Amino acid sequence: MKITKLMLSALVAAAALVSCNKENHSPSLDESVKTVEMSVANMIMTRGEAGDKIKLDGTTAVHVNDFQIFLTDNSYSKDYYEGVKIDGDNNDYIDAKFYWSADDLSAGFTSIEENYHYVSHHCTKIIAVANAGKQLTLAEALALKSVIGEQQDQKKLLLFAEADLVETGRTHQTEATETTEAKYSEVYEANPVLKPTVARFEVDGFALNYSGDEYTSVTVKDIAFQDYMPAMSAAVAPFRGLPGGEAVIPIANLDSDSDVYGWFNTGTNNTGWFRDSFTGLVLDKPTDGTTLVKKDIAEGPRAYHFFAPAQVPDMIINLSVTGTSGTNIPAYIWTDQFSYLDDENVKQYLTSIEPGTVYRMSFAGEASGDGSIPFDEEDLNVVERCLDVTVDVHDWIVVLVTPEF
C-alpha cells in the first residue's frame, strides 16, 4: 500500500485522484476498468472545543474522526467496490480500503494515498463523508440527516464532498495472470473538497461606547439567535446536504417588549445551544474620560453553528441598564444585519450565510480577530433597537463582521 501525505492543518480537505505511472508494455486497452490513484490530503485540521476561536493563520477548525470514500456514478445508483485492488508490498495487489476509522486515523497516519485498480468503467464520481461515526453503506450515506443541535461541536461536524472523475490521458498497466494477458487501463482524476454543512458565528465578548450621559452601567444578561434552519436534509444533490424544515422563529415580533421579555423570562423551549446567559458581565462607564469599555465572556468565547446556505439569523441581546432614571431597567437590542469589509476595504452586507464560513464579531476599527459585539449607548433607545454588526468573514475561514444595531 502506498502511504504519502495526508496533511493535517489546511483550509479544506481534498481527495485527489491522480495518475498511475507504471510502464505500459501492452497495446491492448481494457475498457471494462479504470485506474484511479486517490491522494487524501488536509483531512485532520486544527482541533478545538466548540467554543474555541478559530485561528486566523490559514488553518481551519474541523476535526476528522472517521472517513469514507465511495466510488459511484452520476445517479448514485451503486458503489463500485467489487474487485477493486490497491498496491501491495511485493509488487502485487490486495483488496482496496475505503473506510478509515478513528483508530486508523489516530494510529500515526499522516497521509493516505491509495492506487485503486480494476475500478468499473461505470464509475464516474467519487463522494466522501467524514464523522458519520461508523462505516456506512452508500444508501446510508446518501440518506444522512442531522438536526442543528447535533452540529454544535466542531470536532464532530458532518463533512461531505463529491467530484466527477475526469480523464487524464494517462494509462496504467495491469499485470498478467495465469488466464489473462497484461493490459492497460485509463487513469482518471477528481478533486472533491471536504466541507462542513454549517456556518459559524463567534462571539468573544461585548464592547459598549458611552456616547451620551443617560447611562452609567450596562449588564449583558443573555445572547440568543433565531431565524435559522433546524435540520439538514438528505445528503444527496449536492452530496453535502441542504438545510431543511421551517425556520425557527420563537419571538414573532422583535420590536415587541412583551414578546422579547416574555421569551427570555417565561417562555418555553427557550434554552439550548442557541442561547447563552451570563453572570457578572457588566460594562461600567469609564471614569477616565474615555468612552469605550470592553469585556470578554468570562467562561470563554461562544460559537453558534447554523445550517447553510441560508438566511442570516437574528441576534438578540438581553440587557439590564443603570441610568439617571433608575437601576436595573430591562433593555434589549437585536439585529438581522451584519456588515463586513470586502477585499477592497469597502463595507458590504451579508445577504446569506455560507457553509464552511466563520463569521466573527468585530468592533469597527479594531484589529482582525477582536471578537467583540459592539454597540453604542444610543442603540439602547427603545425606538432604535436594530443594530448594524460588522463581522470578519473567513473560510473556515473567518470573516470579521460587525452587527448593525
pLDDT digits (tens, 9 = 90+) for 366-394: 544 567 888 888 887 643 444 444 444 44
Q: Specify the DSSP element, H or E, that contains 65.
A: none
112 band by pLDDT with thresholds 50, 70 and 90: low
Mean pLDDT over residues 190-212, rounded? Answer: 86
Q: pLDDT for 269-324, tens place per residue? A: 899 999 999 999 999 999 998 999 999 998 888 999 999 999 999 999 999 999 87
Q: What is the pLDDT of residue 397?
A: 58
Q: What is the pLDDT of residue 328?
A: 82
Whether 106 has a pLDDT exceeding 90, the answer reads no
Q: What is the percent of the chain with per-residue pLDDT over 90, rounded to a whole number? A: 33
Mean pLDDT over residues 248-267, rounded? Answer: 92
Mean pLDDT over residues 188-199, rounded? Answer: 80
Whether 14 has a pLDDT exceeding 70, the answer reads no
Q: In angstroms, rounded to a whole number, what is the distance separating the alpha carbons of residues 167 and 34? A: 10
229 band by pLDDT with thresholds 50, 70 and 90: very high
Q: Classify residue 250 by burial, with Cβ atoms within 10 Å: 0-12, 13-18, 19+.
A: middle
Q: What is the pLDDT of residue 276?
A: 94
Q: What is the pLDDT of residue 273?
A: 94
Grid coordinates standing for 238?
Answer: 449536492
CB atoms within 10 A of CB 178: 4
Residues 358 and 62: beta-carbon distance below 8 Å: no
Q: Which of 69-83, 252-266, 383-397 has the lowest mean pLDDT?
A: 383-397
Return the ∠ at Cα 55 (arms to 294 and 393), rounded to 5°: 75
Is pLDDT larger for residue 86 or for residue 127? 127
Whether 168 has a pLDDT exceeding 50, the answer reads yes
Is pLDDT larger for residue 16 or for residue 158? 158
Q: What is the pLDDT of residue 58?
A: 41
Q: In angstroms, rounded to a whole number, what is the distance separating the alpha carbons of residues 213 and 347? A: 30
Instruction: Select, from the ranges 151-155, 198-202, 363-367, 400-404, the one with the highest average predicted confidence (pLDDT).
Output: 198-202
- For 78-131, give the DSSP string: ----TT-EEE-TTS-EEE---EE-HHHHTTT---EEEEEEEEETT--EEEEEE-
Is pLDDT larger for residue 77 or for residue 183? 77
Mean pLDDT over residues 74-90, rounded? Answer: 86
> Considering the entire predicted model, what is its pTM?
0.81
Whether 91 has a pLDDT exceeding 80, the answer reads no
Q: What is the pLDDT of residue 183?
A: 73
Q: What is the pLDDT of residue 43?
A: 42
Q: Classify residue 95 by burial, with Cβ atoms within 10 Å: 0-12, 13-18, 19+.
A: exposed
Q: pLDDT for 18-47, tens place per residue? A: 334 444 443 466 667 776 655 444 343 332
What is the average pLDDT value for the chain, to the nearest integer? 77
Whether 137 has a pLDDT exceeding 90, the answer reads yes
